[in-house]
Amino acid sequence: MEAYLKYYDLFELPPEATIEEIYKVYAYLKALYTGDAMETTALNTDFSEDLLQDYLSRLDDAYEQLKLLLETKKPALTKKTDVMDEGLSDWIKSIACFSGSALKTVRERMGVDLNDIFAVSRIQPHYLEDIENEHFSSFRAEVFLRSYLIEYTRFLSLDSQKVLADYLPRYRKSQGQA
């Protein structure tokens, strides 16, 4: 157990943390350091690629190790959190490609309403619907869609880089044909 404390430390979580809680913090930190957040951009040259890669690999490693630890310790997770049911985070990880409909399914399984996302992100619900329906013509430029997607995924604690990588190529393709 001693050896695992440093992994918990990296997430700043107590050893009682559940795998769902760890995943949330893991996804949060990963999004923070791979998106272009102002907290990292403002570091200028101190935000070096070397340090970043080192940090991200420690983060991945810590998550993997804790996942293994918690899975072997209690094979069936019984504790339910109000936001993520058991298996949901596993199921999210099994999603090969985040399309609009996949995002909608994730959101609905989390019990999140579009108005909840609007309340925090101030992105009009009709734009959020257009994201889920892949109604690409609503977005005049990629930059809008991109920032909406980041807010959307951040709200659901999804890996925004993965979602962007899955989602944006289809938008670009549609723009190319238009």
Using CB under 8 A as the binding rule, the residues of this chain from 133 to 172 that contact another protein are: 155
Q: Is 17 exposed, middle or buried (0-12, 13-18, 19+ CB in 10 A)?
A: middle
Q: Comparing C-alpha atoms, which of 159, 173, 163, 176 is closest to residue 63?
A: 159
97 binds another protein (CB under 8 A): no
Q: Residues 4, 8, 34, 40: which binds another protein (CB under 8 A)?
A: 40
Least distance CB 152 / another protein (angstroms): 13
Closest by CA to 102, choosing from 133, 126, 142, is 133
Residue span binding another protein (CB under 8 A) among the ranges 9-17, 67-75, 123-131, 161-169: 9-17
Options 5, 15, 32, 172; binder of another protein; rule CB under 8 A: 32
Of these, 2, 3, 16, 45, which contacts another protein (CB under 8 A)?
45
Burial of 63 (C-beta count, 10 Å sphere; 0-12/13-18/19+) = buried
What residues numbered 117-136 form the site for another protein, per CB under 8 A? 119-120
The least distance separating another protein from the CB of residue 159, rounded to whole angstroms, comes to: 16
The residue range among 23-31, 65-73, 92-100, 158-166 that interacts with another protein, by the rule CB under 8 A, is 23-31
Q: How far apart are CA 52 and CA 59, in angstroms?
A: 10
> Which of 165, 145, 35, 149 has the alpha carbon at shortest distance from 103?
149
Which is nearer to another protein, 110 or 136 (by Cβ)? 110
HSE (side-chain half, CA atoms, 13 Å) at 92: 25
CA–CA distance, 71 with 79 (Å, rounded to integer): 13
Footprint on this chain of another protein (rule: CB under 8 A): 12-13, 17, 21, 24-25, 28-29, 32, 37-48, 51, 55, 81-83, 116, 119-120, 155
